[in-house]
Amino acid sequence: MAGEAGVVANAAEGSGLGPSTSSSGSMKLSIYPTPIPELVLLDTPSALEKRIGMVRREITGYYTGVHSQAQGIIDRWINIEEKVESRIKSFRDPTEPLNPGLLYTGISALTTSVITRSRGLPTRIFLPPAALAGAFIYFLPRTAFRIGSYAEELEDRYVPRFGEIRRTSIAHSGIALERAKEGVAAGRESVNEGVKSIVESIEQGTGLKLKAIGWAQEVKKEAQNIVNGAQKDINEARRVADGAIESKTSSSDSEDSKRLV
């Protein structure tokens, strides 16, 4: 029996049977061929490669963020340039030629700066800009009005308190100017009344008619003007008459000469 078991084991080994486990626990060969195991290569980076990749990703993200921010700034700047260009074009009045107006304005400012270069510091600082603004308003009034309206709009938008103070100051200045004009007119009337009272007192004290003398002088001036005008008319009529006589004389001489011929 033991011999038969050995023969069976040898036959199993020769036939290529796989390993099997007997009741006694010994290994037996399988009847199928053993498959070749597949080799699987696992890409396991090292710690240095991981660190380099992390740094590269951080740098790429930082560059992308900086580029997007720079592009956003450029886009905003281009938008601002377009707005400024459109606003400047809106200031121009098509009925006003800019070529001579701006040239005259620059010449006025340059001339003022040359004249005031030997003056005091406040004069050199404030007078050329004042001349520039005055010349610009004089030569390009409609364009200056549009720019002033836009400046008032910005003033009301950003510094409304300053705009109120400025308008109040301008209104008070206008009122003060009107009062000054009224005062000058009242002073002139008072001076005329004083002179009139003095003349009347002199007439009452001396018996002279100063008013009549003054009126007589005015009448005399008017009469003299009339006489001068009449004299000019007479001289002109005399000149015309002399010319007619000379032409008549020359025509009669020519007729006599023709008759003689």
Q: What is the end-to-end Cα distance of the chain in Å, rounded?
A: 196
Question: What is the rounded average pLDDT of the residues 189-211?
Answer: 69
* Gap between the Cα atoms of 120 and 117, Å rounded: 8
Tell me the pLDDT tens digit for each residue of 1-55. Answer: 434 444 444 444 444 444 444 444 566 777 888 888 888 887 788 889 889 989 9
Nearest to 164 by CA among 174, 152, 173: 152
* Gap between the Cα atoms of 170 and 29, Å rounded: 117
The pLDDT-based confidence of 181 (bands split at 50, 70, 90) is: confident
**Residues of 209-234 as b/e, b for ≥16 C-beta within 10 angstroms?**
eeeeeeeeeeeeeeeeeeeeeeeeee
- The helices-and-strands tally (H runs, E runs) of the chain is 7, 0
The pLDDT-based confidence of 68 (bands split at 50, 70, 90) is: very high
Find out whether 16 and 29 touch, Cβ atoms under 8 Å: yes
